[in-house]
Structure 1
């Protein structure tokens, strides 16, 4: 008879276990959040440097070809600001200056005059518009160009006063390139840039007037590195 209360107690405890388990609820199983590609931020200002080569375009006086160095080393600095909008579009402005290696172009006229143009550097202030694809930005640019040049004319080794109908210091530039963010603050770029400083002719001395117009333009290839001061969180993730 003493076993009956113990048996009843055991039955009561066994019956209560499912109820307690029900109160605890089912074991939760979480699902890992879906991965989303990072959003790269191009908004901010930047400074950097570049190096590359410059190649003179068509330079001739009505068929009288100017002697020149076909390719010259260039190196310089740039600074600018970008603004990212409408998701992946980027607009910006950039100032750039490149020092040129030896670039003494010139010609000897049949009349005995010797013209030379020592171009020491190229500068530009451009706007640019681009589209970002992940960490890469594809862009086009264009604007004002400046040539740091020194033109001279001599006769028998002595300097001669001369006049051109326009100078070769002010012109325009266009280009395109790609820039890549390899860290939130560092980016590398490669670009092509064309500079055109127009055509001009001698209007004095009179002996050079019949030779017509000549042009001064440049093709450049550059690779550069920028440090970016971002105005917003450089990388965000969307889930």
Structure 2
């Protein structure tokens, strides 16, 4: 009996001695670091090409040279066209240069306050060459733009008595433009946006051969919806 008690005591001492070592082995398991989070940031840099469409209102004022004001009218209608440009992003700031060309159908007229005539203006095309400065919140871009504008204009004079065309003059006029836009990158390389542009054209003397000369001033306010495709990688991965 004493022998059995002695064996039991020895076994208990052995178990007590090995328990800390087993606990130490369990605690020594290697720690695995969780994978780092990766955030994707939209990159607005690169060349792009796109299409646009919308509407506009062009305000025209006609002054009969040496006499006085004949009147004003708004030439309204739709437009469709395209644009190509390049942007570079530095931090959240975005800088760009863009060329845009559009077909247009802005038409309006009014009866002269001085003559038995009706004056009509039609803008059938325009182009914009502009610089851009914008600020981006990831895939949302807000920008301002400004530069030069060229507009194709046709001015016509009709008889109020017969309705017949008395004279016409087609002209290409240069001026300036300012505007602003909001653009959203909705898919890799694709973005959609809205844009406002104001085109201002200085007074210009327009001669209607054998009839009269008018000083004509024109301004255009325009709203566009734009769709762009950007060449190159759309995002930058950041840890």
CA distance in 2 between counterparts of 1:137 and 1:170 reads 29
Displacement of 1:110 in angstroms is 4.6
User: Is the deviation greater in 170-179 or in 18-27?
Assistant: 18-27
2:79 aligned to which of 65, 74, 90: 74
CA distance in 1 between counterparts of 2:62 and 2:208 reads 18
User: Is the deviation greater in 106-115 or in 189-198?
Assistant: 106-115
Which residue is equivalent to 1:221? Answer: 223
Displacement of 1:137 in angstroms is 1.0
CA distance in 1 between counterparts of 2:149 and 2:86 reads 18
SS at match of 1:17: helix
Matched, 1:135 2:136: no
Which residue is equivalent to 1:236? Answer: 237
Q: 1:233 to 1:219 in 2, by over 3 A?
A: closer
Matched, 1:182 2:186: yes
Displacement of 1:138 in angstroms is 1.1
CA distance in 2 between counterparts of 1:126 and 1:109 reads 38
* CA RMSD of superposed structures (Å): 3.4
User: Is the deviation greater in 56-65 or in 124-133?
Assistant: 56-65
TM norm structure 1:
0.77
- Listed as ranges, the gaps of 5+ residues in structure 1 are none
SS at match of 2:212: helix
Displacement of 1:11 in angstroms is 3.5
Q: 1:37 to 1:58 in 2, by over 3 A?
A: farther
Displacement of 1:178 in angstroms is 1.2
Q: 1:55 to 1:161 in 2, by over 3 A?
A: closer
Displacement of 1:43 in angstroms is 0.6
Which residue is equivalent to 2:95? Answer: 91
1:46 aligned to which of 29, 45, 48: 48
1:100 aligned to which of 81, 100, 104: 104
SS at match of 1:139: strand
CA distance in 1 between counterparts of 2:166 and 2:96 reads 45
1:184 and 1:235 in contact (8 A); partners too:
no
Q: Over alpha carbons, which structure has the higher Rg?
A: 2
- Listed as ranges, the gaps of 5+ residues in structure 2 are none
